Amino acid sequence: MRSAVGTPQTGRSLHRFANPGQFLRLSGAVLPWLTAGAIALTALGLGWGLFFAPADWQQGDAVRIMYVHVPAAWLASSGYLALAVCSVLSLVWRHPLADLAAVEIGPVGAGFTALCLATGSLWGKPMWGAWWVWDARLTSVLVLFFLYLGHVALVRAFDDPTRGYRAGAILALVGVVNLPIIKFSVDWWNTLHQPASITLTGAPTMALSMLWPLLIAAIGYMLAFAAIVIARTRAAVLERRIRSLLMARAASDGGEAATSMLPQEGV
């Protein structure tokens, strides 16, 4: 007896939302709102945090890097989780848009991870006295960056795109084991990173005057991530459509040329 996850009904319900035309219509309606929300919330959160939020009593104004660094770190991990979800949809249900979305998530996730590493170094220099230390959190995030780059390279390494999609999906699922390492590294090992200030099970350990701009900036980052990925996926769908039309036209022109070269009746 097949499980509910693998039933044909589940696959059909997923593919119902994978129609390229329907995706273009829905994304075209949603994308302007995502973009506007991303710009407004990111500007509000960063402006509030960088210029108006209070300085930390220990770290001083250096703590303001947090408003850029922490949302980027959250997006680095959650973006890879989205990549893994697309990989499952691709491998299990052959979701036609999942492969395109995964291809477009890779570079965007790598960009946010690079921003996380760069701002972490800027924050670490005044706090730790070094641009880089082989801290467990920093090292695992660096591994995440390499996983993103590996996925970007692997999906483009095959002449057959389908083989590249399958290989990239397998790599993405293998790399998921790094996410809990990133999350719990400060608890499992003695690291320079402080424990999480925001948890789902307890009250935040930072002042609300610092927490609110951080959360607003984080929401802006999330909307920006979604908007960029959707825009890139739309471009990929349109590119595939144009390529199919050009191939169909080339085949049609070739057929007409071959027909015109056949001997005519009565000649």
Q: What pLDDT, in 10s, does the model give residues 35-60? A: 999 999 999 999 999 999 998 878 88
In this structure, what DSSP letter does residue 51 have? Answer: I
* Domain membership flag for residue 131: yes
Confidence of residue 198 (pLDDT cuts 50, 70, 90): low
pLDDT > 70 in the chain, percent: 82
Q: Is residue 1 part of a domain?
A: no
Residue 202: inside a domain, yes or no? no
Does residue 185 form part of some domain? yes
Contact present, 99 and 194 (Cβ < 8 Å): no
Q: What domain count does the chain have?
A: 1
Residue 242: the pLDDT is 87
Q: Considering the domain boundaries, does residue 5 fall inside one?
A: no
Q: How far apart are CA 136 and CA 184, in angstroms?
A: 10
So what's the pLDDT on residue 79?
Answer: 96
Two tokens at 7? 């039933």
Q: Looking at residue 33, what is its pLDDT? A: 97
Mean pLDDT value across residues 63-79: 94
3 state SS of 60: strand
Domain that holds residue 36: 19-190+210-249
Residue 132 lies in a domain: yes
Q: Residue 170 falls within a domain, yes or no?
A: yes
Q: Does a structural domain hold residue 80?
A: yes
Letter for the amino acid at 92?
Answer: V
Q: Is pLDDT above 90 for 10?
A: no
Task: Inform me whether the pLDDT recorded for 100 exceeds 90.
Answer: yes
Q: Give residue 200's pLDDT.
A: 56
pLDDT of 12 > 70? The answer is no
pLDDT band at 132 (very low <50, low <70, confident <90, very high): confident
DSSP state of 93: H
Upper half-sphere CA count for residue 251 (Cβ side, 13 Å): 6
What pTM does this model have?
0.84
For range 90-111, the mean pLDDT? 92
pLDDT, one tens digit per residue, over 155-191 is 999 988 899 999 999 999 999 999 999 988 877 776 7
User: Which distant-in-sequence residues (6+ apart) come within 8 Å of 149 by Cβ?
Assistant: 110
